[in-house]
Amino acid sequence: MLIYRNLPPIQALTFDLDDTLYDNRPVIRHVEQQVAAWLHREHPITATQPMAWWQALKLRIAQDNPWLPHDVTLWRYEQIRQGLLALGYAPHQAEQAANDTIDQMTHLRSCVDVPEETHRVMSHLATKVPLVAITNGNVDVEKIGLSRYFQRVFKAGPDGHAKPYPDMFAKARAFLALPAQAILHVGDHPVTDVQGAKQCGFQACWYNDQGLTLRATPQMKLLPDVEIQTLSQLNQLIL
């Protein structure tokens, strides 16, 4: 653990989810592969266009509607719906297919292997201070077994703009009814987590389990208050 600033007393913790409390990278790869296979099987016309076409469509609709990247579920829905419309589906067919795809994605998205260390640490911390989740993703915390640790979960889209925008940080602070500087936000991303937290007055804990360094992390524009390499190190901060 590296401490870069004097830490005021920590009265609550907010947590990023993906790639902080579990490794989300293999989950996303699996989701992408399985959703594509499901679409090709259930709606064969989707296989007539390469993945590059679908990715270009996803970027284009985000340019037309800048809100979409703040709600990843809605963004995926619109990608499928508009793609199928372009391939000749009637509007009601495209909408039904997009809804069915989201159901498949939601199921696969919750196939997360949460490490035992995460459960041990979160169980301990939840007895010490209030815990709140702030995520840009769309995982179901109840289905992956993490809901019991959090007093509240804020998700980009339903709860406002994605991090590093201040929407969810502000909602977390209001829910906790604490000064921002009394809250430590824990997350792996230099921009969405560290920068987002610091710009909202939170203390920021950079979860760096990838062996990175500050100097070799160009996205790190604001210095975190503390850096940890394992979640269990949080137990040294919250006694």
- State how far the Cα of 112 lies from the Cα of 97, in Å rounded to an integer: 25
**Beta 131-135 vs 226-228: how paired, if at all?**
unpaired
Q: Which of 154, 150, 159 is nearest to 130 (CA)?
A: 150
In contact, 78 and 68? CB cutoff 8 Å: yes
- State how far the Cα of 190 lies from the Cα of 72, in Å rounded to an integer: 20
Which DSSP string corresponds to 13-76?
EEE--BTTTB--HHHHHHHHHHHHHHHHHH-GGGGGS-HHHHHHHHHHHHHH-TTGGG-HHHHH
Collapsed DSSP state (helix, strand, coil) of residue 158: coil
Task: Kindly report the number of other CB atoms within 10 A of residue 43's CB atom.
Answer: 19
DSSP for residue 216: T
- State how far the Cα of 174 lies from the Cα of 236, in Å rounded to an integer: 26
**16 catalytically annotated:** yes
- State the catalytic residue, choosing from 16, 18, 19, 159: 16
| Residues forming the active site | 16
